[in-house]
Structure 1
Amino acid sequence: MVRNTAQNKGETNMDMQALLQLAADTKETQELVTLVPWTFIIQIINLFIQVFLIKKFLFKPINDILEKRRNLADKSIREAREAQDKADSLKEQYESSLTKAHAEAAEIVSEAQKEAQVKADTIVQEAEQQAAGIKARAAADIEQEKKKAINEAKDEIGGLAMDIAGKVVEKEINEADHRKLIDDFINKVGA
């Protein structure tokens, strides 16, 4: 039994040592978990300093870069919209000008056709008037020539009649002479 007691003592010793070891570990653990006010305050100050430094040297430049990119994108979008509006405006002006030009061209063509028709009508009227004038002059000339020819014929006939009458008076005409005189007269008048 002595042996048992020694053995028990040895075990108890071991158990004690294990308990002491456990107690020591627990104390260290408590020290790690325990809040020390000065350490806590320094850690808070350290956290604020880190946040400040990160914000100043990391977030601010990143935010500045993001802001510049946002402004650049907004500017590009605004310029694109302005360019689109300007292009739409120019397109409307072009279409309006094109429509106006088509209308003016149609009006010019219509006026040119009207003027051409008026000129053609005027030319036809002038030609008809000239033709009528030429016909009237020709008719007057023909009538004048006819009267002239008739007057000349009358003068000639009168002269021939006087000649015949003078010859008849000079001599007595027999039937053969009379026929001869008439034939001569007809030949002279016919020539």
Structure 2
Amino acid sequence: MNISVGMIIFSTINFLIFYLIMKKFFFEKTLAVIDERKMEVESSFKKASDEEARAELLKSKYEEDIKRFNNEGMQLVESYKEKADRIYSEIVEESNKEAVNIKEKAIKEIERERAIANKEMKQEIIELSMELAEKTLEREIDSNRHKELIDEFIAKVGI
């Protein structure tokens, strides 16, 4: 192996010329492409970071909305429960009033029936008394006068 100085100088000059040509025509474009790609990557990372921050913001907003909706749902359920309790109380109260009214009507009906029965009983007593008096006296007496006497007797006795 022979190393020739001329060959080293020629190769070095060749390399320098090649380097200058590459620098003149290709290095700037290649560096521009590399810089552009670097900017795209950085832009993508920034977008991803921004999207992640936005997603976190949306997530926290949705979680707050869910909590609010749960609270509103619970309030709505509680409201309907209170309304149902109120309606139940009104129905029970109305039923109690109706029961009292029915009881009062029944009492009045009983009193009316009792009064009718007492009147019929008095009438029966009067008729029996008249028959008894007729048989005892064996004659017919004035029925109006006889009824008056019996009414007085019943009033004194308290029937």
TM-score, normalised by the number of residues in structure 1: 0.60
Partner of 1:102: helix, strand, or coil? helix
1:147-179 alpha-carbon deviations (Å, 9 max, x no partner): 1111111111112111211221107xxxxxxxx
1:84 and 2:52 are equivalent in the alignment: yes
1:52 Cα offset (Å): 5.0
Structure 1 gaps, min length 5: 1-31, 33-42, 172-191
1:15-53 alpha-carbon deviations (Å, 9 max, x no partner): xxxxxxxxxxxxxxxxx9xxxxxxxxxx8xxx6x76653
1:139 and 2:87 are equivalent in the alignment: no
1: CA distance, partners of 2:23 / 2:123: 142
One-letter amino acid of the counterpart of residue 115, structure 1: K
Match of 2:127 among 148, 159, 167: 159
1:108 and 2:76 are equivalent in the alignment: yes
Match of 2:86 among 115, 118, 124: 118
CA, structure 1 residues 59+167, in 2 after alignment: closer, same or farther (shift >3 Å)? Answer: same
Partner in structure 2 of residue 16 of structure 1: none
Larger Rg: 1
Match of 1:66 among 34, 37, 40: 34
Partner in structure 2 of residue 168 of structure 1: 136
Matched residue pairs, number? 126
1:121 Cα offset (Å): 0.8
1: CA distance, partners of 2:56 / 2:133: 112
2: CA distance, partners of 1:122 / 1:70: 76
2: CA distance, partners of 1:112 / 1:62: 73
1:106 Cα offset (Å): 0.8
Identical positions, percent: 29
One-letter amino acid of the counterpart of residue 170, structure 1: E
TM-score, normalised by the number of residues in structure 2: 0.72
Match of 2:63 among 72, 88, 95: 95
2: CA distance, partners of 1:129 / 1:56: 108
1:54-103 alpha-carbon deviations (Å, 9 max, x no partner): 32323112211211211111121121012112211210121011011110
1:105 Cα offset (Å): 0.8
One-letter amino acid of the counterpart of residue 31, structure 2: N
2: CA distance, partners of 1:168 / 1:81: 127
Structure 2 gaps, min length 5: 1-5, 7-12, 140-159
2: CA distance, partners of 1:134 / 1:127: 10
Partner of 2:79: helix, strand, or coil? helix
